[in-house]
Structure 1
Amino acid sequence: MTHKDTYAVVDIETTGGNVASGDRMIQFGCVLIEDDQIVHRFSTDINPLTNIPKQIEHLTGLSNKSVALAPYLEDVAATIYNLLDGCIIIAHNIQFDYTFLSGELQRCGMPALKNKGIDTVELAQILLPTESSYRLNDLVNKFNIEHTNPHQADSDAAVTAELFLILKQKLKNLPLVTVEKMVEISEYLTMETSYFFKVCLAEMKKELDPLSDSLMIKNGIAIKVKPPVFEQDNYREEFHYPLSVKNKEQLFQTKLTTRMQQIKMMDAVYHYFTSNQTNHFAIEAATGVGKTLGYLLPLAYIASVDEPVIISTYTTLLQKQLLEKDIVQLNTILPFTVQAAILKSKSHYLHLTKFQTVLNDPIEQKVEAIYKMKLLTWLTETETGDLDELNLTNYTHLFWNKIRHRGWLIKPEEDLWHEEDFYLYAQQKVEHARIIITNHSFLCHDLNRKERELPKIGKLIVDEAQHLPDVAMEASSEVFGYYRMQQLVKLIGRTSDEKSFIGKLIILSQQLSKMESSYLENMEMNLFSLEDELSDFIHQLLVYCTTATSNKQRQQEQIDVQFNRETNWNLELKKISKKVLTLMSEISYLGFELVHQGLDERHQLTLKERYLLEDFFDVMTTFDEQKDLFHAVFQQNEVNEVTWFSYKEKSPKNSFMIKRSKVDSTRFLKEKLVETTSSILYTGATLEINGSFDYFQTQLGEEELKELIIESPYDYKNQARLWVPKELKPIKGLSKKDYVHMIVEQVENIIENSNENTMILFNSFEMLQEVYFALQQKPSASGRELLAQGFSGSRERMLKRFFRAKGGILLGADSFWEGVDLPGKSLSILVITRLPFESPDRPFVKAKHRYLEQKHLNPFTIDSLPKATLRLKQGLGRLIRSETDKGIMLVLDNRLIHTSYGKQIIRSLPSGLPIEEVATKMIGEKLQLFLRTEEK
């Protein structure tokens, strides 16, 4: 182990991914590093003597023609082998490059590579814990490394070398105690990546730097010191809201452009909250108004620590944007500082004591080692401990469950890391904040809690308010999963299994006088019985489902069957459900009793044993929730509830789920929010339909809203076009195959005639998937950045890649209809695959419509049409994001033009927007002409 190691940073381009299948190397690039300096570069094209596929040509720029005169690999294999001899090979995703290169060299008679190997993907995952993407291009952009030819081996090798040196420096800047811990864990990493950590540790020990003042070490872990939470002065006595336009312009100076629509909103918000109005207020602020600062600036003069204003927005991502972008901008404008804080549920935060315990547990999978090392780096950077900062695509791995915060069964003061606890710190910030930011889901769950986490709500702003009714309904939704129940039973376990909860608690009960081992034995017997009874019950429910399922449903992978207890319930099933419920209740009682017995003698327990009880309590809580849902479905009956069974045809029993939801959240919102909160401002870009807030008002349980519509500053007449292709066949008459073909044909027509970024919006993931697979096969799409929801990473990662793309194609559904900010060239064409009506076959939609019919209301006019209208308005809002944007919306559904309800939808779209039917063959020419035309 010496600093004299020579590193060979390698990148290769190939015709495909598998040497054994005949794929060949077409380019090799290598950069040598010694003493942290680049000392040599080598690259060569290679004639593969085989065809280079079109998509590889588009990606790399290498064609059969361009490599025709290049040497064969047989001619340069020895040169490459000798160049690498004695070096440590580094690559971005090394397992591909190393394996492929070794296979190709062996094919040419060289020995297999035996060099050490280091993976820069893993180094980046560990040392750059908050990045949303670890693709080479994205990391290179982050560090402003010049990358002249992406997907060319010489250029990729050169930037990977620079990235490696940056990562090495980042590691050496970490505290010694952090790197020592990393070295212990690093043996589980790919190839010899651990060697890199050992080398760096040895170098660090030679020149020890003092610990930074911004860090502290406790129990062998280095963490960032949190800044103290200060009380704020009450600035309102000293500073007054700038009432006139002139005063606002003096305040804004060069930091904010004066927009009359935004000023109109600021004044309306200020007057509403400072007058004694009893009605709640709804402001529709169209895209481009600058709605967020439109309410934040007046709030700064209204809110105080004693009477904070709560802002609820749609997602945790928008919460983060409010705090890190909008509040920061606000504070650059104001002559004082407004302190804001985010309030999320406990589970968003890292629990330091649990992490310390897990850190010393044996590692079973490589991914756990990466997660542990990633968190060790992150703890030296984060002030919040909010796991969302890690930008992971999902947190389903068991590791995250072990280390996330779930509160305390013991007194918080008994926690080893009590003073540094992230959740308690977040609560302190909330107590000292004038603006508290939460999200609709947290708000709705909090309204239902006996002990609320939010302070008493006096003044509330609901941003993206059109979502609140749906989120309230989702908050009421519950799922009982047969597979989930099996997993819980397995987790609770057997007395004979020392790794299960019961097995561990049997051992624990031997040292505690109050813990009854008979409870554990009874619990095990009941679990055995439950497995049998529940299996029999689900089997009979599946028989019931089969008789209630139509032929059309049987052709689908996912089958949903609505359940009506009054009309479809037989005595045998009723009898078994009671048995199942009795067993669940007994298990639940015994489990919670065991937890309390253990906690009564907690001072005899080690930290690990306490956490065993806490984890067991969490499992029993989940079990108890499943029991309560089972009881609600089979023993209760509510008019405003819908229950349905859902399963997949391939594995009906294991995929069997019982889903239950409220059909209407109006009563809940009216009783828990509307009638208990004195001042509420609802705002969003799509609240009204044809100038009326009636639909929005009814959904919330409001009665006499004060209303304001602030028009868009954008010139839709000159900035946008809405086209419907002329030759479209009626959607309802198309088979699934023909429908997919139609969408692909229209998208191909666009991408063959333009190199503009195009977003395609779907109503269903199934259709999105079919179109994505079909487009992957099309030559016109090869070489384009083709991104699809569910296939290309998180929403944030996809949008970042799409924003940087030239000629990118993004397929999205659901959340992509709104909250997407892609100004200028980052989005020029928007394709709507069909009018965004909810599927009438979904059990939930069926139930809601039946509920409305019982109230003698027309579900289509009362529910379906308003929702689709607002959805289309939201979609259009993605397209024009600034005064200079130009964009085309292509709607592949002629019902918009040819039906009376389509014309009703059109009336809700921005005035002046040109709408016409265009022949498909003319679309290419017209879009080129429109997007090329300079604004007059």
Structure 2
Amino acid sequence: MNDRFIVVDVETTGHSVAKGDRIIQIGAVVIENGEIIERFASFVNPEVEIPPFIEELTGINQAMVEHAPTFKELAVELLPLFENVGFVAHNVPFDLSFLKNQFELIGEKFPKMKCYDTVELSRMLLPKEESYKLGHLAFSLGLSHDRPHQADSDAEVTAEIFLYLLNKLKGLPLLTLEQLIPIVRYFRSSLEPMISAFIQEKVMLGVNDAQEFDCYRQLALKKQPEHDNEPAPESFKGTFSEFRSELFSADKGLKEAFTKYETREGQVRMMDKVDHAFHHNEHVLIEAGTGTGKSLAYLLPAVLYAHETDQAVVISTQTIPLQDQLLMRDLPLLERLLPFPVDVALLKGRSHYLCLRKFEQSLRTISDDTYDVRLMKAQILVWLTETDYGDVEELNLSSGGRGFWFEVQSDAKSDLGKFSPWFSRCFYHRARRRAREAHLVITNHALLLTDLVHDQALLPSYSHAVIDEAHHLVEAASEHLGMKADYVTFSYLLQRIGLDHDHGIQPHLCRISEEYGISSKQLHDELIISLTAIKDEIDELFRMLNDYVTYKRKTGASDIGRISYRYRSFDESGSSWNAILECTMRVHMFAKDIRIRFDTLIKQFLDIKDQISYVDHGLVTDSQRLVDALMEEEQYLYELLLEADPEFVYWIEIEPRGARNATFIYSKPIQVADRLADQFFAKKKSVVLTSATLSINGSFDYQLEQLGLEDFGAKVYTIESPFSYKDQARLLIPKDMPAIKEVGEKQFAMDAAIKVWRIAERKRGKMLVLFTSYEMLKMVYDYIKDLSEYEPMPLIGQGITSGSRAKLIKSFKQAEEAILFGTSSFWEGIDLPGDELTSLVIVRLPFSPPDQPLLQAQLERAKEAGKSPFMDVSLPQAIIRFKQGFGRLIRTKEDKGCVFVLDRRISTTRYGSQFIKSLPDVPVDEHKLEVLLDRYEDFL
């Protein structure tokens, strides 16, 4: 093993020496025996111009390199540093190849060295990190990195990260190191000799990892605390009402728990309403304005009620960030406030949890894996020494690793139960056990609603619940009760069953069949014929569906760029549709044939299951799960194309520029109120639904109807925000914006871009611009890009700037000034307090396009019922969305800012006033934009 390393970073004019790019700065740090012993840094005269982009990125300009030595002049000093060392860089392939090519260019041979890539090492050893960029890692590890993208600073921080990672690698348990050896052989970093040396050292020292880790079946897991069977000492058993005075006393309770606690009347009132609802078995809707502190307002009475009655209370949210907030921020507060320990369990859908049996099995096939899968296996081995929950949300998976998760996730169909030696350590069963013993069970809307479609409840028995982000419950129920089928899922399942293998079906099934002599060659051959036939038919079916929609093309591109077509199977006609139905029927017949033959094969296994090893039993069960999943997908396809329920809407989406089989079929219930009423609310004693956006112009009627709560006598309450919107915000409507119907989309987009740019020029800060369609977003973005050519400002566009929603928000937060362009999911769930957001622009009132299949069906249903499709469906949905968008601006008592609405309908139509009346009491002004900018200079 090398004890000496050189950590290198180079800044360059571009990516390729062959295309004329050159080094402009080099930084190197030498490490020996775990300590930095030498540093080297120099600007380099590249003898070419530095591009403006590189100058902006690195801060290195032509003047700084003009009198610096050339690379040839530096080579004499540099080459000795690279003798008998390991080469370390943050992204080795780039730095190493660039250096090598520069040396070759001046006629010098670059020495061969073992390499260590800190990106690869970080992915493996820090599996929970959000990002593996150098700046993020430095911040996360508490390292100083004051000049990012300058070679000396980058090399220094890379060296410190490398030392940290080496230390972490060395500290891993012996079993983990041994399991890593066959995986790291395929890595860029030369880790095998290093890990072997660590193993040898541990063996010689007789290290016993069993004291710190749960070492079982050659895997090391984080040790879980043993359950204390001693009965808990008698503790407070009172109600919230009895605890109330202590909670709000002058020197105890909340005053003691918070350093700067101010009593919020709304929060206190909400606590009382939740407590009253639970004790009087009422369903309640509570709209709690931003800043109420609603999570604590429902958690306190909920946990006291659970403790008092020995019954769990379920808390459901739509989003993972809110679940994390409840666990990380609010739970510690509860612990400090209450006179008894609080048991809280987080329970998610089964596919979130790692199946240890499947993962153990996967370690046998490393030689067949891709690089991404090997890296993910190494990641999981390290993660197992750290995780309490085995929840995939903790892991930072590469896109290539996501497919592997499907193979190792927990699922009911391949669960061996107590037959598996992993049963007592199973993350999913452990989560369910925790949930059965908890006061509070935190879950998501999707899992909460499984009772609507499954006989077996996944949550422990409960009668009281709090539903936060309740404005999403109807949408979540609709999603949950709907169906979907697509070509990619079928293709993946058929591949996993083994059609890509030479043997035709999974090789291990063939091996086990031969080993135990339980399957005839004829049955095996018949299965291959049926599986091949269904694959061909599915290929043909999805191509025909794509052609059919392309021909019909009744609606334009949706928000995600797809073309959608609404259909009802028995209303379609023509030879093309008949061919689709016939093909679907053939798929169904082949599926029945596969089911019969596969069941025959599985029955033969079951007849001798006592003779089959645990490993082989697991492999058979996994194969059964894949075939069951294929049959389930085929059943969806059958129902979507050969059946028609009048209570559902059906549609097909295609990718206009995608492959011919890039086709997706959907169905959703037109309304879910009856199902929610009969199968959820009628079965629960008390459900508290809360959100910042439940009412419309002070009325809850729309939500009560959508949720099916009209006949339950549900109580409704509005808790006003503690913020002073009169002082903190302005709603500004530029009169000089044209009406979109008068000018068309392109002209409207151009005018909107000019207005957004003028606001940005006056207020050099951070602005969020919200759209209702991606097409409009892209047009405005492109126009502003042209406008900002001579006075650049960072532009971050959803669907334009690469990265996930979270990544775009993070980039926005890190910028000193920027414009963030967002649609759909950006209207809510973004918390940007203070200077992180001072201007918000709503380009159009957020009406959903009337040609969206589900909305279209809801509008038709409203008309049939004698209602106004616009006033009773479209308008309420738009107002709730508008309130969510408006709520992005003011997040704390200190925030100030302006909301600009560029859609004149808010002031020129009769219904426009309802948008304003549904907002908090915010001053509204309408004038030409330049007048508004002058008037509200203090807000900008």
> TM-score over 0.5 for the alignment?
yes
**Contact 2:11/2:26 (CA < 8 Å) preserved in 1?**
yes
Tell me which amino acid in the other structure corresponds to 1:563. Y
2:256 equivalent among 229, 254, 257: 254
TM-aligned CA distance change 1:117 to 1:897, over 3 Å = farther
TM-aligned CA distance change 1:650 to 1:150, over 3 Å = closer
Residue 98 (structure 1) shift: 1.6
Q: State the match for 1:104 in structure 2.
A: 102
TM-aligned CA distance change 1:636 to 1:555, over 3 Å = closer
Counting only pairs closer than 5 Å after superposition, residues 620-639 of structure 1 correspond to structure 2 as: 620-639=627-646
Please give the per-residue CA displacement for 1:250-273, whole angstroms capped at 9, x wherever unaligned.
322332322221111111111221
Residue 667 (structure 1) shift: 1.7
Structure 2: tracts of 5 or more residues without a match: none
Q: State the match for 2:339 in structure 1.
A: 335
**Contact 1:262/1:289 (CA < 8 Å) preserved in 2?**
yes
Residue 930 (structure 1) shift: 2.1
The alignment covers a number of residue pairs equal to 925
**Contact 2:736/2:929 (CA < 8 Å) preserved in 1?**
yes
Rounded to whole Å, the distance in 1 between the matches of 2:321 and 2:552 is 41
**Contact 1:232/1:432 (CA < 8 Å) preserved in 2?**
no
Instruction: Give the 3-state SS of the residue equivalent to 2:769 in structure 1.
Output: strand
Q: State the match for 2:322 in structure 1.
A: 318
Residue 194 (structure 1) shift: 4.6
TM-aligned CA distance change 1:467 to 1:367, over 3 Å = same
Residue 438 (structure 1) shift: 1.0
Q: Which moved more, 1:57-66 or 1:218-227?
A: 57-66
Counting only pairs closer than 5 Å after superposition, residues 61-460 of structure 1 correspond to structure 2 as: 61-112=59-110, 114-194=112-192, 196-198=194-196, 200-201=198-199, 209-211=207-209, 213-229=211-227, 235-237=235-237, 241-242=241-242, 247-249=247-249, 250-256=252-258, 257=261, 258-274=263-279, 276-277=280-281, 279-304=282-307, 306-363=310-367, 364-392=369-397, 397-407=402-412, 409=414, 411-460=416-465
Q: State the match for 1:823 in structure 2.
A: 833
TM-aligned CA distance change 1:568 to 1:715, over 3 Å = same
TM-aligned CA distance change 1:497 to 1:326, over 3 Å = same
Residue 295 (structure 1) shift: 0.6
TM-aligned CA distance change 1:217 to 1:67, over 3 Å = same
Does 1:874 pair with 2:884? yes
Q: Which moved more, 1:807-816 or 1:705-714?
A: 807-816
Q: State the match for 2:903 in structure 1.
A: 893
Q: State the match for 1:678 in structure 2.
A: 685
Rounded to whole Å, the distance in 2 between the matches of 1:496 and 1:554 is 38
Residue 210 (structure 1) shift: 4.2
TM-aligned CA distance change 1:82 to 1:374, over 3 Å = same
Rounded to whole Å, the distance in 2 between the matches of 1:825 and 1:185 is 46
What's the TM-score once normalised by structure 1's chain length? 0.92
Tell me which amino acid in the other structure corresponds to 1:383. D
Residue 676 (structure 1) shift: 1.6
Rounded to whole Å, the distance in 2 between the matches of 1:21 and 1:773 is 30
Residue 673 (structure 1) shift: 0.8
**Contact 1:186/1:193 (CA < 8 Å) preserved in 2?**
yes
Please give the per-residue CA displacement for 1:724-765, whole angstroms capped at 9, x wherever unaligned.
444433335666655655555445445544442333333344
Rounded to whole Å, the distance in 2 between the matches of 1:927 and 1:161 is 50
**Contact 1:351/1:404 (CA < 8 Å) preserved in 2?**
yes
Q: State the match for 2:721 in structure 1.
A: 712
Rounded to whole Å, the distance in 2 between the matches of 1:176 and 1:790 is 46
Please give the per-residue CA displacement for 1:518-566, whole angstroms capped at 9, x wherever unaligned.
4443333333443454455555545543442249669996321111223
Residue 801 (structure 1) shift: 4.5
Q: How high is the sequence identity, in percent, across the aligned residues? A: 34
Q: State the match for 2:24 in structure 1.
A: 26
Tell me which amino acid in the other structure corresponds to 1:29. G
Residue 512 (structure 1) shift: 4.2
Q: Which moved more, 1:231-240 or 1:463-472?
A: 231-240
Counting only pairs closer than 5 Å after superposition, residues 723-734 of structure 1 correspond to structure 2 as: 723-732=732-741
Please give the per-residue CA displacement for 1:792-817, whole angstroms capped at 9, x wherever unaligned.
54444444444343224444333332
Structure 1: tracts of 5 or more residues without a match: 932-936
2:873 equivalent among 846, 858, 863: 863
Q: Which moved more, 1:606-615 or 1:463-472?
A: 606-615
Tell me which amino acid in the other structure corresponds to 2:817. G
**Contact 1:78/1:110 (CA < 8 Å) preserved in 2?**
no
TM-aligned CA distance change 1:39 to 1:750, over 3 Å = farther
Instruction: Give the 3-state SS of the residue equivalent to 1:722 in structure 2.
Output: strand
**Contact 1:15/1:25 (CA < 8 Å) preserved in 2?**
yes
Instruction: Give the 3-state SS of the residue equivalent to 1:17 in structure 2.
Output: coil
**Contact 1:58/1:782 (CA < 8 Å) preserved in 2?**
no
Instruction: Give the 3-state SS of the residue equivalent to 1:13 in structure 2.
Output: strand
Instruction: Give the 3-state SS of the residue equivalent to 1:845 in structure 2.
Output: helix
Counting only pairs closer than 5 Å after superposition, residues 314-713 of structure 1 correspond to structure 2 as: 314-363=318-367, 364-392=369-397, 397-407=402-412, 409=414, 411-493=416-498, 497-498=502-503, 500-501=505-506, 504-512=508-516, 515=519, 518-538=522-542, 540-550=544-554, 558-570=562-574, 572-573=578-579, 574-651=581-658, 653-703=660-710, 704-713=713-722
Please give the per-residue CA displacement for 1:556-597, whole angstroms capped at 9, x wherever unaligned.
963211112232235744444433322222323333443343
**Contact 2:546/2:662 (CA < 8 Å) preserved in 1?**
no
Rounded to whole Å, the distance in 2 between the matches of 1:773 and 1:192 is 46
Q: State the match for 1:934 in structure 2.
A: none
Tell me which amino acid in the other structure corresponds to 1:578. M
Q: Which moved more, 1:370-379 or 1:23-32?
A: 23-32
Rounded to whole Å, the distance in 2 between the matches of 1:131 and 1:537 is 42
Instruction: Give the 3-state SS of the residue equivalent to 1:328 in structure 2.
Output: helix
**Contact 2:253/2:337 (CA < 8 Å) preserved in 1?**
yes
Tell me which amino acid in the other structure corresponds to 2:433. Q
Rounded to whole Å, the distance in 2 between the matches of 1:391 and 1:773 is 32
TM-aligned CA distance change 1:9 to 1:513, over 3 Å = closer
Residue 186 (structure 1) shift: 0.8
Please give the per-residue CA displacement for 1:437-485, whole angstroms capped at 9, x wherever unaligned.
1110111123321111112331111111110000000112222223433
Rounded to whole Å, the distance in 2 between the matches of 1:59 and 1:701 is 55
TM-aligned CA distance change 1:290 to 1:114, over 3 Å = same
**Contact 1:14/1:27 (CA < 8 Å) preserved in 2?**
yes
TM-aligned CA distance change 1:495 to 1:864, over 3 Å = closer
Rounded to whole Å, the distance in 1 between the matches of 2:897 and 2:385 is 44
Tell me which amino acid in the other structure corresponds to 2:394. E
Residue 685 (structure 1) shift: 0.6
Instruction: Give the 3-state SS of the residue equivalent to 2:26 in structure 1.
Output: strand
Tell me which amino acid in the other structure corresponds to 1:324. M
TM-aligned CA distance change 1:229 to 1:67, over 3 Å = same
Instruction: Give the 3-state SS of the residue equivalent to 1:253 in structure 2.
Output: helix
Rounded to whole Å, the distance in 1 between the matches of 2:89 and 2:675 is 56
Q: State the match for 1:904 in structure 2.
A: 914
Rounded to whole Å, the distance in 1 between the matches of 2:205 and 2:747 is 69
**Contact 1:717/1:913 (CA < 8 Å) preserved in 2?**
yes
Rounded to whole Å, the distance in 2 between the matches of 1:22 and 1:782 is 27
TM-aligned CA distance change 1:753 to 1:606, over 3 Å = farther
Rounded to whole Å, the distance in 1 between the matches of 2:110 and 2:400 is 39
Rounded to whole Å, the distance in 1 between the matches of 2:51 and 2:86 is 32
Q: Which moved more, 1:195-204 or 1:589-598?
A: 195-204
**Contact 1:223/1:379 (CA < 8 Å) preserved in 2?**
yes
Residue 429 (structure 1) shift: 0.5
**Contact 2:841/2:900 (CA < 8 Å) preserved in 1?**
yes
**Contact 1:226/1:383 (CA < 8 Å) preserved in 2?**
yes
**Contact 1:723/1:891 (CA < 8 Å) preserved in 2?**
yes
Instruction: Give the 3-state SS of the residue equivalent to 2:882 in structure 1.
Output: helix
2:857 equivalent among 847, 851, 859: 847
Rounded to whole Å, the distance in 1 between the matches of 2:869 and 2:936 is 38
Instruction: Give the 3-state SS of the residue equivalent to 2:848 in structure 1.
Output: coil
